Structure 1
Amino acid sequence: MIHGLAFYYTLRCNATCGHCGVWSSPDRSETMDLGRAEGYLQSLAQLPARPDRAVVFLGGEPLLFLEEICTLIDRATRLGFQTQVSTNGFWASTAERTRATVERLQRAGLTHLALSASPYHTEFVDPANLGRALAAARSTGIIRKLQIITHRAGPAESEVLEQIGLPAEEVQDEVVYQAHRRDPDFDALAHVFVRRTPAAPFGRGAFLNGHVERFPLHEVESIPCYMVRRFPLLYPNGDLYSCCCVAGFYEPYRIGNLDREPLADLERRMESNPVFEAIAKVGPVDLARFSGFEEKTSPGARFSHMCHVCREMMTGTDPAELEEKARGRLLLYQIAGGPEVTVYDELL
């Protein structure tokens, strides 16, 4: 079942970060039509109801289109969805502009604000912007998140937090939020919840050979994927992909186009795909081992994390062969009575 949608509202960005997996830049023009985007929200609302259904707006830099995004946040809120915007904080250049932007987002109904931090971002955005944005979000009652992109040559996290001006005592791992979000005594506004993601060899990140740490397949963390099928992504042209990770921006993950087919039909197509089911239940690393993918790779092949394994397996294996292997792995899974392990059950 679809738990939420990730809207890649635009691929335009004020920055040209070296790690960007989708090649965003000021020169990109791909942007959703606002009317079509509102229709996509309505399509999500027509699916069977579930609690905590969420919509995330990302890109690119979605807040280059502040009023359009606020229109969509307002629409999503009226439909009962939680909302998040992922942004690099370029707009928080002064206290006045920061407060005006955050208050505009709050009036629209935004529930979560996620800010990106890394050495790649600091080339284009002053880290102090993030500190101003986080402070303004707390004062307006918006849940605050920090998405830190790490690499082996990068600064320590304490240095990143110091540049932002974020006290270490406010920082909690995002897992803490997921575990306690429904506890009425948990003060989520008192914390900034951090997700740490390693730089990956996707998009411009493919050229960061000295920054991306890689491991042999047997050393890559093997866990079920909580994104695939649950949190698909929408490209600006209406194409729906089965996973909102940038590794999923490839043809084997494309399900169809929401302008041409109902979301319910695309959801059924995802649910009936044995490869996606196996990735959700046992994980891409497990499936890669079971399918013999390692034997097909070049000697000494290395992977940054399980999403990298997933992309290489999906793009480097015959689809019919991979489906057959996935059915076999699912049969063993069923015989063993293995539960579907969910790391997170919600997108936000």
Structure 2
Amino acid sequence: MRLEDAERVMRNLSEAFRGRYPSGYRQVGVNLGLHLTGGEPFLNPDLLLDLVRMADRLGMPSLFVETNCFWAATDESARESLNQLKEAGLHGILISVNPFILEYVPFERTLRAIRAAREIFQANLMIYQEGFLHQIERLGVRGTIRFEDYLRTAGASSMYYAELLPMGRACYELRHLFPRHPAEDFFCMSCRAELTRPWHIHVDNYCNYMTGYCGGISLGDARRMDEICSGIELDDKPILARLVSDRGIELLYRFAVEEYGYRELRKGYISKCHLCVDIRKHIVEQTDEFVELKPEGFYRNLKAEDAVS
């Protein structure tokens, strides 16, 4: 995303926020204001600084960044990074702590970032999830640990309180953690609620407007957010039209089977989202005609499973 595109998106958001937040609102929360996330925002620290300055200039409320803390190599560098962001206008920070990040980010870096953030942002530090923070501390983990080893050490019950959403890449990478169901078990379901929710939306690096966590489904170009919010024409978005219909999952499934030769997965699905994303992945592999199935790279990086022969 170019900076000029980011500014167009932020201007649209600032208009939407106006009147909903008092001027200078700095309290942070996962469903408040604007959060900069990813991926990992600190992979491009210069861009992150530019975006924070831009958001501050536009008066964005509840401005915070989400991070996995890979960058917190030393106490000094951690404090320096966070101080720069605070001076640029950042209100707070959300630090992600869970066994999946622990596979790649040494726990010492997470603790270091938490210490620095408490010092710099004080009450505007959020830890997501604190339960995992305490669990990992009790286990005495040092460095990194493979997720499978974590489960063996902590036990499957350690994941009981995890907000693990069975959608997107998790459907493939973590499918062994969930029971499976045949496709028809989800035929009565629709995605209308998820796709029309008016809160906690995301804008990706390609300016796609996505509601909630429905990765790979674009409601339109966030640079023209007013058009999206005034109503979406579904005639040229047949995938979206089916998903928001009653029994939308069944409609999408039958469309994919009849038009694109989709075959049900042999082992079944862990959720309606698993069935939906697997169908969409199959369709994207056949054609690029559906404007709502973006970005293409989202589907390219999903792992395939064996279908029923």
- Give TM-score, length-normalised by structure 1: 0.53
Which among 39, 43, 46 is matched to residue 67 of structure 1? 46
Shift of 1:116: 2.2
The equivalent residue for 2:203 is: 234
More strand as a share of residues = 1
The equivalent residue for 1:249 is: 215
Structure 1 residues 266 and 199 mapped into 2: Cα distance closer, same or farther (>3 Å)? closer
The 5 Å alignment of 1:148-159 reads: 148=129, 158-159=134-135
Superposed CA deviations along residues 157-179 of structure 1, whole A, max 9, x for unmatched, are 743244699xxxxxxxxxxxxxx
More helix as a share of residues = 2
1:132 and 2:94 correspond: no
**Partner SS state of residue 178, structure 2:** coil
Shift of 1:120: 2.9
Structure 1 residues 291 and 270 mapped into 2: Cα distance closer, same or farther (>3 Å)? same
Which among 222, 226, 229 is matched to residue 267 of structure 1? 229
1:37 and 2:6 correspond: yes
The 5 Å alignment of 1:269-284 reads: 269-270=231-232
User: What is the alpha-carbon distance in structure 2 between the residues aligned to residue 269 and residue 314 of structure 1?
Assistant: 23
Q: Are 2:69 and 2:105, in contact at CA under 8 Å, matched by a contact in 1?
A: yes
User: What is the alpha-carbon distance in structure 1 between the residues aligned to residue 206 and residue 165 of structure 2?
Assistant: 27
Return the index of the structure with the highest Cα Rg. Answer: 2
**Partner SS state of residue 100, structure 2:** helix
User: What is the alpha-carbon distance in structure 1 between the residues aligned to residue 268 and residue 73 of structure 2?
Assistant: 43
Structure 1 residues 293 and 229 mapped into 2: Cα distance closer, same or farther (>3 Å)? same
Structure 1 residues 117 and 271 mapped into 2: Cα distance closer, same or farther (>3 Å)? farther
Superposed CA deviations along residues 258-285 of structure 1, whole A, max 9, x for unmatched, are 45xx210122235999x999x9xxxx9x
CA root-mean-square deviation: 4.4
Alignment identity in percent? 19
The equivalent residue for 2:56 is: 77
**Partner SS state of residue 118, structure 1:** coil
The equivalent residue for 1:160 is: 136
User: What is the alpha-carbon distance in structure 2 between the residues aligned to residue 121 and residue 104 of structure 1?
Assistant: 25
Q: Are 1:229 and 1:270, in contact at CA under 8 Å, matched by a contact in 2?
A: no
User: What is the alpha-carbon distance in structure 2 between the residues aligned to residue 55 and residue 197 of structure 1?
Assistant: 21
User: What is the alpha-carbon distance in structure 1 between the residues aligned to residue 3 and residue 67 of structure 2?
Assistant: 19
Shift of 1:255: 1.9
Higher relative contact order (CA 8 A, sep 6+): 1
Give unpaired runs (5+ residues) of structure 2. 22-31, 142-160, 258-263, 284-309
The aligned amino acid for 1:303 is: I
User: What is the alpha-carbon distance in structure 2 between the residues aligned to residue 228 and residue 310 of structure 1?
Assistant: 18
Structure 1 residues 35 and 289 mapped into 2: Cα distance closer, same or farther (>3 Å)? closer
Q: Are 2:168 and 2:215, in contact at CA under 8 Å, matched by a contact in 1?
A: no
**Partner SS state of residue 71, structure 1:** helix
The aligned amino acid for 1:63 is: F
User: What is the alpha-carbon distance in structure 2 between the residues aligned to residue 276 and residue 249 of structure 1?
Assistant: 13
Comparing 288-297 with 90-99, greater Cα deviation is found at 288-297
The aligned amino acid for 1:241 is: Y
Shift of 1:197: 2.4
The 5 Å alignment of 1:113-262 reads: 113-140=93-120, 141=122, 143-148=124-129, 158-162=134-138, 196-198=162-164, 200=166, 202-203=168-169, 206-210=172-176, 212-214=177-179, 216=181, 225=194, 228-238=197-207, 240-245=208-213, 248-250=214-216, 253-259=217-223, 262=224
Give unpaired runs (5+ residues) of structure 1. 1-31, 151-155, 166-194, 318-348
Shift of 1:99: 0.8
Structure 1 residues 106 and 289 mapped into 2: Cα distance closer, same or farther (>3 Å)? same
**Partner SS state of residue 114, structure 1:** strand
The aligned amino acid for 1:266 is: I
Shift of 1:316: 9.5
Structure 1 residues 308 and 147 mapped into 2: Cα distance closer, same or farther (>3 Å)? farther
**Partner SS state of residue 35, structure 1:** helix
User: What is the alpha-carbon distance in structure 1 between the residues aligned to residue 101 and residue 95 of structure 2?
Assistant: 11
User: What is the alpha-carbon distance in structure 1 between the residues aligned to residue 202 and residue 16 of structure 2?
Assistant: 16
- Give TM-score, length-normalised by structure 2: 0.58
Structure 1 residues 164 and 80 mapped into 2: Cα distance closer, same or farther (>3 Å)? farther
Shift of 1:233: 2.0
User: What is the alpha-carbon distance in structure 1 between the residues aligned to residue 47 and residue 200 of structure 2?
Assistant: 22
